[in-house]
Amino acid sequence: MPNFIYIDIHLLNRIKKLQYKAQIPALALLVLSFLLSFFFATFNMRYPSLILSIISLTWFMYVSACFRMRQKLPIPEPGQVLSPITGKVKSLKRSSDQYQLRIVKSFLDVVEIRCPHESAEWEGNALRVVFGETSLVFRFDTDNLIRFPEQEMQPGNVIGMISGSAVCSLNLSQSLMTALKPGDICDGGQTQII
């Protein structure tokens, strides 16, 4: 029995195609800078061409950094509720009978959304998890959410992706307290919430 979960090759190809599609404008700008330097070979056009080249290469590397992924993950213990995204715990606010946990994903964190529990299922832009007698809802605040509904809902599997920054919110009852505190780093599919 393998000790790791590997990302499906078809899913990896799908995510990489989205990355290449996002890098096309940067490459077009690089081609434009070469064309400017080739057709307008005067000394005055070399600087704008050089500036365009630097901007396009920086843009290209930025998009590459926004699509980083972990292709191998240790198999999580069964029965745990895990963090679906990689990020930092921004806040753990307490109201009268609940806690609200907010995990913030920066644009440089890995893009994948990992399945937090075997009972997880998509409901719009949220993941619903039935844990005991409690229903937990992970809400994703982003415009860049892409779900992969064909993926199997097993803890740690890639079930979606978010390019760029995002916030994941979870409301917990007082009986389901978490050991996480503000400032803690969460790894998607690895860090135990409950």
Q: pLDDT tens digits for 97-147?
A: 888 899 999 888 888 999 999 999 999 889 999 988 888 899 999 988 999
Query: d(Cα 122, Cα 152) in Å, to the nearest integer?
Result: 12
The whole-number pLDDT of residue 45 equals 75
Give the count of alpha carbons within 13 A of 41, CB side only: 2
Main-chain phi, psi angles of 172, to 5 degrees: -120, 140
Flag whether the pTM goes above 0.75.
yes
191 exposure class (CB count in 10 Å sphere: 0-12, 13-18, 19+):
buried
**pLDDT at 14 exceeding the cut of 80:** yes
